[in-house]
Structure 1
């Protein structure tokens, strides 16, 4: 882990501000004791973090030794820091933030509403391991009706490499480019979440079942997904052409994938007719 400059004054101010915003009830302490100032007392933070009061006071006053990573993790838990706040705490303390435990699979209401509101655009949401978390009506024409698929099997990369080796899709340059970038993006997630069992199991499974995946994985390409133009000979809708736009959701490390046709194009007309057909 990389250690950089400890900014004592900023660390002290940040800890004081996070301590002041918390109510005792939020951390399981009685709320009835009269307090001269809002927030937790220093001794309460020290107790919650499992350290001596004197040691915590010296940190909050900008004195004392360089806090260890264990101390910073304990303070982050005691002060109920968000992921962004936890990262900031480590950085001002001169430490690189610890890796996240695993990809977020939480579906926020706002993203659910946004996907549903895209009535003329196929769209779906995936986590960093490409598990599909949500989709709209038009997306079912491309990813299927996932409501009937077990949640553990809603993975785009697994679907890609289940195609037989003789499948004609493997001769499509656009598909090959899409697959390569997806594998490179999965490797980036593999590096970000070294302790996540689901990501590790997916990679292990595909290494054992798909020689094509094993070949691409061995190339060690690492890159986040970028937009590409896709040409799809859809069995029901006919030939389609659209930009596969990838919208990153920073707070959850998720991606919204939307199929965006050129305005006035035949594909846009198909999507509009389809939207009318599936409208509730």
Structure 2
């Protein structure tokens, strides 16, 4: 068995054993979908005519997938470094690409499973958010989004040395980004200066691309712009991850 396969299999077994984390990873976006569906049912955003739910559902899915990617690899790298697992891997023939690649495959699996479950619920009569002709576009969008945010998580997991610091740094980045990127409130109802700030946040591009795919808001060009933005941020976070990665606490 290759180092990549062994790390992927070990990571999968560790992930499925943690029943609590698995439950909340999948339940969290659905809870928000149901709550927002009940609160904002029938209400529209005046500037666009689209329902509040069409904004918030896309934003909640984007935020849920991004959070899972960031926290998943951030905590893993920190814990592996604290337990000297990374040091032992470094002394083996396994390359760094096997370490990150194994976590990447697991993050893709979690993110796509989240999306399938979320889309299934969103297509129910009470929500009816997903046009049949658009939802397959979610697949490439989510792959790009997971790639970008996983690389951000690598940077956080390389900087932080304790679970508290991983949670603190990740929440400090992800929570304000969620509000400023329109995950919970429509950007159309925000001041112009906040809308401009959102243009330098990766979650804004994931929200826009997911919204175009999930609810049909916007056209294919909007989805394409979102994907291009995610590629740019993936490149930026990739450079940061390469420069900050540490096998041990000292190097």
Q: TM-score range by the shorter chain?
A: under 0.3
* Structure having the higher Rg: 1
Q: Normalising by structure 1, report the TM-score.
A: 0.22
Q: Which has the higher strand share?
A: 1
Q: Which has the higher helix share?
A: 2
Q: Higher RCO, 1 or 2 (CA under 8 Å, sep at least 6)?
A: 2
